[in-house]
Amino acid sequence: MHQQKIVDQFMRERGWHKYHTPKELLLGMVEEIGEFRNIIKWSLEEETVKKKIMENHAEVENFFGDMLWELSSLANYCQVNLSDALDKVIEEHKVRFPMKSNKWK
């Protein structure tokens, strides 16, 4: 089953939709972003950032799961299919940012 539908089904089974309004979902995303920021806060060098991420990998992985949950819930509320939305953005980026050379392949 598509992950976005699984989130919707889970919430419906528990009657959570009334609590997961756009405002609450967006605030949840902001909170998650703040938690991730705290992991890498004060790390200026790329290697230090990578080290902090690896040292806190379980927490970082949880961040991504929580963000996908919040995003899926918000997309469901807005009746947006995330896969379709991402496909459209990828196609738009191909037009807006064409390859000028094989440098990046």
Residue ranges per structural domain of the chain = 3-96
Determine the topology of domain 3-96 in CATH. Answer: Helix Hairpins (1.10.287)
pTM of this prediction? 0.84
Structure confidence by residue, pLDDT tens digits, 71-99: 999 999 999 999 999 999 999 999 999 98
Q: Residue 50: which H helix or E strand, with range?
A: helix 46-55
> Residue 105: pLDDT above 90?
no
Q: Which pair of structure tokens corresponds to residue 48? A: 């230090």
The beta strands (E) that lie in 1-105 are given as none
